[in-house]
Structure 1
């Protein structure tokens, strides 16, 4: 099915699809990415040097020496959702693109700053912005991307632009709150599953909730449809985060573009880790809690050896942290799909929403 295929109304409450209806998600993402490319370039061009070159490096358009690289940035899931949400209500193409571009700018603001705060040296198989251009430039690149996101959404020319801007700023604040929690959890001996899910909801759920609804908001949709789309994105975001946390421990670096056992290197209290540490009875659970407590008490940490990280990964899996995170990803995946059934939309749009969710979950399923 091509992204421009004629849509037909799908019965409310019936968004299932069989094999012949399945969406070619990589082609869909590439199509959506291409639609946003020119506007994204135009937005980044507004930044003064050297921020424009450093930002273009982050997006993969330039190499570290400033030469065109021909690369692309990420999977473009968030702009794809923003454009798709516009199709629920028939929002015009120009308005939808403003929403999609603003979301991509906001998302990348968080990536640039998170990489710096977490000390991540690799993203998408390349050195991160702070690693190549310095911490000061990385801070300014992130600030510039956040400002551009707000400019772009307010320039949409919709009577509902300010409502969309409020949606975007709420997502930005939630991202910042979630990152603050993430950093504070690194200094605590223990974190509950509820706290970890709250953090994931703020960092990932809110951004994908905004992505899945902002196109419809620009088109003036009512609150019921907006809320349903937001909830779909929110649950999809929690599923995405659970999958990401699994890949942060057990993911293949050739696929993820990050170091092996990256979250363990940083001693992150991610969903599999927190779920495993919640095990009260097992010896492995007690050993893991002791390691986390020791980490929290230390002012600075020596780098973990490969053997130490392998041991921690084995403890987490033995206690059930890996299985719990996978189950949570499945549960949120189902919940997000069920929310969509409360609203009517063209059949091809519903199938694309579900196809995008399946694509993300399939990374570990």
Structure 2
């Protein structure tokens, strides 16, 4: 009997620590190769040092995507160690998006400390993000894995989807005719695409067949949209001390997030009142975001997003069951998925 069949299932905390221990050295080695002009900003953003370059123990994020890559590889009978370059590449792309997102959204805080652009300036943060994106593809290409070229194409497609989704998200801020289906499609591209990519890359680096790759991609896509629902809920009702982001920040920016769009299109009195607040220059929302939050909830937006997150989680887990061949890795992947959807930060 293979060791995987008899080994006990690890907790989410243990799995994340295991993955981090394998992927962090690869990330550090990759970032060390960046030009000094952007390496400093990248390392600050990743939580490795402060603005002066002194080592620090600041958190580097949840590291969800690398774990998805490695567990997806194991779930179809592959090796987590072989998938490390793919895991590092996906995390570099994720951090590229965060550096740029903070600039685009004007968010001054990231991971409980000043965002990189607020410390080093917008040009430095943008260029560091660009460098991390280029580095991600270099890590894949230099891996020597037989599926490296396929991996590059899978990752590139996800980045293009992500950019398209981010463009739609920003465009929504100036529109008052967003439908729920359009908003969900945006979330699929902006957030779902990279989680789908992480799972697909794990399968690709495990040498899985097309059906397994497609199944894990679909698992990741549904999990990613569920992740976005939760992220949007936390952007309105999350505890700032836990999330590290300003309370009601998404409302102040008049973000057309999933629960907001559900509320705006609900046809309820609260939804119509919320729409009136969102129109014009948006000052009523910025001046009293707590009122806007109450209206989103009264219009059913909060409850709808909570239901959708659980529904998508259920669909994702059924897809996982249909393609996974390694029970322990599948159980750990399912446990991670539940933790992602039921998180508080």
Instruction: Provide the secondary structure at the position in 1 that maps to 2:3.
Output: coil
Distance between the aligned counterparts of 2:116 and 2:279, measured in 1?
Answer: 32
Partners of 1:189 and 1:293 within 8 A in 2: yes
| Deviates further, 60-69 or 81-90 | 81-90
Alignment match, 1:239: 226
Alignment match, 1:68: 55
Instruction: Provide the secondary structure at the position in 1 that maps to 2:54.
Output: coil
Partners of 2:254 and 2:285 within 8 A in 1: no
User: 1:341 Cα shift?
Assistant: 1.9
Distance between the aligned counterparts of 2:78 and 2:186, measured in 1?
Answer: 32
Measured on the aligned residues, the alpha-carbon RMSD in Å equals 1.9
Distance between the aligned counterparts of 2:115 and 2:190, measured in 1?
Answer: 20
Distance between the aligned counterparts of 1:132 and 1:175, measured in 2?
Answer: 26
Distance between the aligned counterparts of 1:232 and 1:200, measured in 2?
Answer: 15
User: 1:291 Cα shift?
Assistant: 1.7
Partners of 2:183 and 2:258 within 8 A in 1: yes
Alignment match, 2:122: 135
Give the unaligned 5+ runs of structure 2: none
User: 1:160 Cα shift?
Assistant: 1.4
Alignment match, 1:6: 3
Instruction: Provide the secondary structure at the position in 2 that maps to 1:151.
Output: helix
User: 1:70 Cα shift?
Assistant: 2.1
User: 1:189 Cα shift?
Assistant: 1.5
TM-score, normalised by the number of residues in structure 2: 0.95
Q: How does 1:1-365 map to 2 (within 5 A)?
A: 6-8=3-5, 23-280=10-267, 282-295=268-281, 304-305=286-287, 308-363=288-343
Q: May I ask how many residue pairs the two structures share in their alignment?
A: 344
Distance between the aligned counterparts of 2:271 and 2:81, measured in 1?
Answer: 53
Distance between the aligned counterparts of 2:78 and 2:124, measured in 1?
Answer: 37
Instruction: Provide the secondary structure at the position in 2 that maps to 1:61.
Output: coil
Distance between the aligned counterparts of 2:28 and 2:297, measured in 1?
Answer: 43
Instruction: Provide the secondary structure at the position in 2 that maps to 1:65.
Output: coil
Partners of 1:95 and 1:156 within 8 A in 2: no
User: 1:302 Cα shift?
Assistant: 8.7
Partners of 1:229 and 1:340 within 8 A in 2: yes
Give the unaligned 5+ runs of structure 1: 10-20
Partners of 1:57 and 1:66 within 8 A in 2: yes
TM-score, normalised by the number of residues in structure 1: 0.90
